[in-house]
Structure formats: C-alpha cells, structure tokens
Amino acid sequence: MTKVTGTCDLLITHVHIATMDPSMGTGHYGELLEGAIAIDQGLIQWLGAAEALPANLQPKATLDGQGQWLMPGLIDCHTHLVYAGDRSTEFEQRLQGKSYSDIAQQGGGILSTVNATRRCSLDQLIEQSRPRLEALLCDGVTTLEIKSGYGLNLETELKILRAAKELELQYPVRIEKTFLGAHTLPPEFSGQADRYIEVVCEEMLPAIAEEGLATAVDVFCENIAFNLSHTEKVFQSARSLGLRVKLHAEQLSDSRGTQLATAYDALSVDHLEYLSNEGVKALENSTTVATLLPGAFYFLQETQRPPVEKLRASGIPMALATDLNPGTSPFTSLRLIMNMACTLFGLTPSEALAGVTIHAARALGLQDQEGMIKKGHTANLTLWPIQSPASLAASLTGETPSLTFYRGEARVN
C-alpha cells in the first residue's frame, strides 16, 4: 500500500471493504476487513487496513462507517430506461400463450413503445423516465447505460438521447448513452430493411455523433429484427465515426452475432441464451464482455439458459444488467437481477456482484475508472448496513445503501 501524506477531502474509517479488485484483499470480493479509505477530489486516494493508515494524513472530514460494508457503486450496463407508454396488455397476451415474437410480428412489442415515445414531448419523456432512474439510484446504482431505440426516426432518437443527457444533468449519476436506431424496422420502412439501415448509417448515426449524444452503437441482431449483414453495416459506420459497438445477440436464436461483434471489438454482447460453442470461443479470444440479462429471461419465461458454465470455464467476464424496458424486463432493481442471476443462471453471489461492478464497468469501457475500489479510481461507492457482501444478491429485504458516494460526494437516495 502506498504511503500518503497531506490532506484528503474525506476519510472513511471502520468499514469492511469489498474492493472487487482481484489483486487486493482476500476472498472472492477482495475483502479488506476493518479497512479505511481516503477520498480526494472525487478519486480514491488511499485504501487499506485501518492500522496502516498514514499517521500524518489530514482529512478535511471523517466518517465512521460503523462496521458497515463499503462496495463499489453498482453499474447497470444495459438499459432502455427512456421510453413512454405501457405494455401490460402484452403481458396479459403472453400469459394467454402468445409469444414475444408473435406480438412483435403483429405490430406490437417494440413498435407499440415507439408509437408512444414518438407522441411525447421531450419534457414528458423525461418525467415518465424519472421514477425509473430514481428507483435504480435507490438500489445503489452510480453509473448506468441508456439506449435509444424507441424512436426509429432521427427526431425521436435524438429526443430520447437528449432526455438521457438531461437526466444526467439533474442527478449525480453517470449515464453512458448508446444509439440503438437498429432496434426494429419502423412501419414506414416496411419491407425495406436495407433502406432503413442506410438511413441509420448515413443520416441518423452521423447526426447523433455530431451532437456527441452517444459513445456506443447497438443493434438488435435477431430473426425478428436485423440480420448479420445489416449489423455489420451499422458496425462499420460506427467505427468510421469513432464509436464503440455492442450487440443484442443470441436472445431468441443463434444468429452468430457474437462472432461478428467480437470481430469489431465490441464492448459487450448481451442476452446470449442461444450462444453456441463457436460463440464462446470467439468471446474467449476477444476483450468483449458477455452481458447476461436474467430479467428478460424470466419475464419471457424463456427456458434456454445462457451457457454460464462454459463462459465461466473459459474465463469470459460476465456482466449483469437490468435490461430495463417496458416489454421484456420491466424491472428497476439491479439487486433483483443479481438474485435472478444466481437462482436462474447459477451464478454465485460474488459472480453476481462482479457482474454489476468490475465486469459491468468493462462492458461500458470504463474499467480504468470504475467498478473496483482501487487507488486512482472514481470514488463511486455504496455503504451497506449488511453482514456479508453476499447479502446484495441473497436477500431483497429492504436494505438500501445508507450512503451512496458519487465522485466522492455522499448522498442518501
């Protein structure tokens, strides 16, 4: 541990720290029991055992953590949080036996949310989205991703991304914005998927990049959405504009999207219920994260699980996210998702926590700044009144962070 002298903005003592840093501490959570941590200018300046605390450190403020657990802020690396409308009638239809694909092919599904979102003003869209963001924050989320994709024309895609940007200004959270113009084919392009993809690549993407409204580009690669060749066209345009890519892949069938995405150095491939052995191999030879979305698996009553054992055996980082959206994963608790990942997919509680911290940070390209409690990282932290770090995945019994730190600033959500 490095020696520190001088001042810091805040010193937190008497905490157990789940660093999630594989090179720190003990156990699966990188635990430091009876630890202390110094924060300065929004960054982690020092952490270690309380007895190793530099004697000459002069904190401007101190906080007694009272034996609680300090964790990295949680990161939700896949959401469709900004949308309008409601899809509960589809839930009823699916319970009566209609499939998600049937509903989509009959003009419902994503398109029903597109209609509602197109009709909304920017302000209405922000107000409808606000409670969902606040719910995520209550759960300890300090960074999240928001995708567009319920506009499918330039005007509405811009409106969604501007709403995400405005929410980021109103809350202390970090929001990474992703353009998902290739979510589904809008009705005005019926039968003309190639033409729509041209519009995405030549008109929408450049305008969104020009306004700096997205850092990544996503595609829904699926038999009810876009094929591999469409996906590759979008990836090429994204790359030419300096944007990273990611993919909704192998959710309902094996479209071999993962192999394509890894060839474009994707940040992540997401869903993966139908991932093949070749897909696993492609991930193994890449830096792409496998993001699992158990909320959608649960809500669609899917029975094919993503190949977790193979991903684990191959050492592929597995992130977890809410996939928060009105049609397939209407859930605003990342902790519920952690619990589902353990009960439905067989992750361990420490894998689940890694999935919403260290691996989620990598899925957003933020691994050098976030996802671990580590010297030099952003001081995005959560303090929990719990007995063990496994509690975050194990029990949903009302515990919320007693404090959440956003770039070192404490707040009660």
329, 110 Cβ separation under 8 angstroms: no
Asked if residue 96 belongs to a known ligand binding site, the reply is no
Partner touching 370 among Fe ion, ligand NIG, none, CB below 5 to 8 Å by kind: none
Query: For the chain, how far is it from start to end, CA to CA, in angstroms?
Result: 32
Choose between 323 and 370: whose C-beta lies nearer to Fe ion. Answer: 323
Asked if residue 368 belongs to a known ligand binding site, the reply is no
Residue nearest to ligand NIG (CB): 327
The least distance separating ligand NIG from the CB of residue 387, rounded to whole angstroms, comes to: 34
Task: Please compute, for residue 358, the number of CA atoms within 13 A of its CA located in the half-sphere on the CB side.
Answer: 20
Pick the stretch among 323-331, 333-341, 361-369, 386-394 that binds ligand NIG (CB under 6 A).
323-331
The DSSP element (H or E) to which 380 belongs, if any, is: none
Asked if residue 244 belongs to a known ligand binding site, the reply is no
The least distance separating ligand NIG from the CB of residue 296, rounded to whole angstroms, comes to: 4
* Of the candidates 273, 229, 237, the residue with the CA atom closest to the CA atom of residue 254: 273
Choose between 20 and 161: whose C-beta lies nearer to Fe ion. Answer: 161
Among 323, 358, 371, 386, binds Fe ion (CB under 5 A): 323
Relative to beta strand 69-72, strand 381-384 is: antiparallel
Instruction: Say which amino acid occupies 71.
Output: M
The interface with ligand NIG within residues 353-382 (CB under 6 A) comprises none
Choose between 80 and 177: whose C-beta lies nearer to ligand NIG. Answer: 80
Over the range 290-321, which residues count as b (16 or more CB within 10 Å of their CB) and which as e?
A: bbbbbbbbbbbebeeebbbebbeeeebbbbbb
Choose between 91 and 189: whose C-beta lies nearer to ligand NIG. Answer: 91
Partner touching 220 among ligand NIG, Fe ion, none, CB below 5 to 8 Å by kind: ligand NIG
> What is the rounded distance in angstroms from the CA atom of residue 292 to the CA atom of residue 269?
9
Q: Is 116 near ligand NIG (CB under 6 A)?
A: no
Pick the stretch among 111-119, 126-134, 249-257, 321-329 that binds Fe ion (CB under 5 A).
321-329
* Of the candidates 169, 148, 161, the residue with the CA atom closest to the CA atom of residue 80: 148
* Of the candidates 37, 41, 42, 71, the residue with the CA atom closest to the CA atom of residue 57: 37
Chain residues that interact with Fe ion, rule: CB under 5 A? 323
Chain residues that interact with ligand NIG, rule: CB under 6 A? 80, 109-110, 113, 220, 248, 251, 296, 323, 325-329
Which residue positions form the known binding site? 78, 80, 87, 150, 183, 248, 251, 323, 325, 327-328
